[in-house]
Amino acid sequence: MSSVAKDSDSGGSLIGELFQAGLYKPKQGRLVRQVTFLSVAILAVLIGREFSYADFLSSGNFWLGAGIAVAGIWFAYRVVNYPKFTDFLISVQAELNKVTWPSTDQLKRATAVVIFVIFAMALFLYVFDIIWTFLFQLLGIRYSG
């Protein structure tokens, strides 16, 4: 049996996983899973906050928003423990561990190059715009004023 077939057999459906409390491979990919959980949970809280301030409901806005936030946090907790997604996050962290990150000096030099190129291109486009504006005014295509 190939590894692809094994991966597709692991875990049930996402709906079935939402109503469980267990952790899937809790020791692996912790950092990526925690960041993913935090991102989805913050998004859920912000969506709940928007619903709590919604004007289209006459009453119960706070409880609707709180319910959406709690459901979203539970969804975030369960989705990072969904076997297929968890295996993906574990492989993401494994790939990130293989990356050779630049040193502080390399990062500063690369940042300086990028900033210089952006300002040089902005200056070049500004001069180019002035030249073409002058030519168009000279030919009568564009009028000033």
Q: Are residues 86 and 106 in the same domain?
A: no
Q: What is the pLDDT of residue 42?
A: 95
Give the separation between CA 110 and CA 116, rounded to whole angstroms.
10
Q: Are residues 62 and 78 in the same domain?
A: yes
For 91-120, what is the mean pLDDT? 94
Is residue 80 within 8 A of residue 73, CB to CB? The reply is: no
For 119-124, what is the mean pLDDT? 98
Range in 5-9, 42-46, 63-67, 130-134 the model is least confident about = 5-9
Q: Is the pLDDT of residue 121 over 70?
A: yes
Residue 37: give the domain boundaries.
Answer: 3-99
Q: Is the pLDDT of residue 130 over 50?
A: yes
Q: Are residues 22 and 39 in the same domain?
A: yes
For 126-140, what is the mean pLDDT? 91
Give the separation between CA 124 and CA 36, rounded to whole angstroms.
41
Q: Are residues 123 and 81 in the same domain?
A: no
The token pair at 75 is 């969804």
Q: Are residues 93 and 117 in the same domain?
A: no
For 13-41, what is the mean pLDDT? 79
For 43-47, what is the mean pLDDT? 92
Q: What is the pLDDT of residue 3?
A: 44
Q: Are residues 90 and 124 in the same domain?
A: no
E strand residue ranges, the chain: none
Give the separation between CA 39 and CA 101, rounded to whole angstroms.
23
63 falls in which pLDDT band (50, 70, 90)? confident
Q: Quick one: which of 98, 96, 85 has its CA closest to 37?
A: 85
Q: What is the pLDDT of residue 119?
A: 98
% of the chain with per-residue pLDDT over 90? 36
